[in-house]
């Protein structure tokens, strides 16, 4: 018997109809189902195991069904990636760049997962460690990006090192370190390049640098990137996928590197550039 977990976006009224239907489909196909706390609000369909999202991997599912937008997927990915759980993401949001499965494709996609016909993509995950006086304050994982910014509207000074070699000294609003998956998110809006998802690289994009010579930088995927916070602001903020994070202070060092584990996405057969055309109007005049 396969095991599946359902992870949902809060405050989506249509889920009151969708989730019971999904549970009936899973039951009919011999799949044991559990849910996160957000999904349980729409009805459990009987006695189901319910988990906090950060601990849902304890159910040891064979796959996860994410019902929501890209933000829901980002949250689910951080919880499930260490356990190597494949994720099927169905778009109930607005843009849905990562959650490319449409609602009307839900049943077809579930059938493909059950039959083993749904391809799996491994996406790189970014590991971010916040060090203060050489002590590890916190470690996070990001599917899209990690962003360090000042918490007040003023420039912040910091230095950037790649493999312990000084690359730049920045005076800017902040800096984005993005995976290839995240290259089409905040980094793109800040002027960074588009990377295909399987490019073995990281993108470093300064946010509004106070010079014309500082441009986005692409480094190898196995590089270690370090940002050292200098003068210009007493406090800053490290943001992970725009959802979680921590305060940073003068002298803090933030180290970024590719994580050992990946995010496994169950995908349709849409090509990457088809998604760019549909979601970002790529190449249109």
User: Domain with 162 in it: what CATH number?
Assistant: 2.60.200.30
* φ, ψ for residue 163, nearest 5 deg: 55, 40
Q: Are residues 149 and 234 in the same domain?
A: yes
Q: Are residues 39 and 160 in the same domain?
A: no
Q: Are residues 113 and 152 in the same domain?
A: no
Residue 57 located in a structural domain: yes
Domain extent at residue 241? 126-258
Q: Are residues 204 and 254 in the same domain?
A: yes
Q: Are residues 98 and 134 in the same domain?
A: no
Residue 285 located in a structural domain: no
Stated pTM of the model? 0.91
Q: Which pLDDT score is estimated for 44?
A: 64
Q: Which pLDDT score is estimated for 130?
A: 96
Cα separation, 89 vs 73, in Å, equals 7
Q: Are residues 114 and 235 in the same domain?
A: no
Which long-range CB contacts under 8 A does 29-32 form with residues at least 24 apart? 29/110, 29/114, 30/1, 30/2, 31/1, 31/2, 31/3, 31/4, 31/114, 32/1, 32/2, 32/3, 32/4
- 276: three-class secondary structure by DSSP: helix
Measured in whole angstroms, the distance separating CA 9 from the mean position of its chain's CA atoms is 15
* φ, ψ for residue 165, nearest 5 deg: -105, 130
Q: Which pLDDT score is estimated for 233?
A: 55
- The count of other CB atoms within 10 Å of the CB of residue 200 is 11
The runs of H, that is alpha helices, within the chain are 15-28, 37-40, 70-80, 106-115, 186-189, 272-280
**CATH number, domain containing residue 94:** 3.40.50.10330
Cα separation, 170 vs 176, in Å, equals 12
Residue 65 located in a structural domain: yes
Q: Are residues 135 and 228 in the same domain?
A: yes
Q: Are residues 157 and 222 in the same domain?
A: yes
Residue 214 located in a structural domain: yes
Radius of gyration of the chain (CA): 20
Q: Are residues 134 and 93 in the same domain?
A: no
Q: Are residues 72 and 138 in the same domain?
A: no
How far the first Cα of the chain sits from its last, in Å, is 51
Give the list of residues 6+ apart from residue 146 with CB closer than 8 angstroms, or none: 126, 128, 140, 176, 177, 178, 238, 239, 240, 241, 254, 256
- Residue recorded with tokens 């906090």: 52
Render 50-78 in DSSP notation, one character per residue. Answer: EE-GGGGGGG--SEEEEEE-HHHHHHHHH
Residue 157 located in a structural domain: yes
Q: Are residues 236 and 268 in the same domain?
A: no
Active site residues: 70
Q: How many domains does the chain have?
A: 2
Residue 96 located in a structural domain: yes
Residue 31 located in a structural domain: yes
Residue 249 located in a structural domain: yes
Q: Are residues 8 and 63 in the same domain?
A: yes
Give the list of residues 6+ apart from residue 283 with CB closer than 8 angstroms, or none: 276, 277
Render each residue's pLDDT in the chain as its tens digit; 285 residues.
699 999 999 888 889 999 999 999 999 999 999 999 999 888 765 678 999 999 999 999 999 999 999 999 999 999 999 999 999 999 987 767 788 888 899 999 999 999 888 889 999 999 999 999 889 999 999 999 999 998 877 888 999 999 999 998 888 999 999 999 999 999 999 999 999 999 999 999 999 988 888 899 999 999 999 999 986 556 789 999 999 999 998 889 999 999 999 999 998 767 777 777 777 777 777
**Hey, what's the torsion of the CAs at 34, 95, 243, 235, to 10 degrees?**
180
């Amino acid at each position: 018997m396969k095991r599946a977990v359902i992870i949902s976006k809060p405050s989506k009224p249509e889920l009151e109809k969708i989730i019971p239907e999904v549970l009936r489909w899973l039951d009919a196909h011999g799949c044991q189902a559990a849910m996160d706390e957000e999904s349980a609000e729409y009805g459990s369909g009987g006695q189901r195991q319910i988990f906090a999202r950060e601990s849902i991997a304890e159910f040891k599912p064979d796959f996860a069904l994410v019902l929501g937008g890209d933000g829901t997927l980002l949250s689910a990915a951080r919880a499930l990636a260490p356990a190597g759980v494949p994720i099927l993401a169905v778009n109930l949001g607005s843009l849905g760049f990562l959650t490319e499965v449409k609602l009307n494709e839900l049943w077809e996609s579930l059938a493909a997962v059950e039959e083993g016909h749904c391809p799996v993509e491994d996406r790189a995950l970014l590991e971010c460690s916040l060090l203060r006086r050489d002590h590890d304050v916190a470690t996070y994982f990001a599917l899209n990006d990690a962003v360090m910014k000042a918490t007040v509207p003023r420039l912040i000074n910091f230095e950037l090192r790649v493999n312990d070699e000084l690359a730049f000294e920045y005076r800017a609003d902040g800096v984005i370190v993005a995976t290839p998956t995240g290259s089409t998110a905040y980094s793109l809006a800040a002027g960074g390049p588009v990377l295909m998802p399987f490019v073995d690289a990281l993108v470093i994009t300064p946010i509004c640098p106070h010079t014309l010579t500082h441009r986005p930088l692409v480094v190898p995927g196995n590089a270690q990137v370090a940002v050292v916070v200098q003068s210009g602001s007493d406090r800053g903020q490290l943001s992970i996928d725009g959802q979680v994070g921590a305060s940073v202070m003068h002298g803090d060092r933030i180290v970024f590197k590719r994580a050992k584990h990946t995010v496994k996405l169950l995908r349709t057969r849409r090509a990457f550039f088809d998604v760019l055309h549909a979601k970002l109007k790529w190449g249109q005049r």
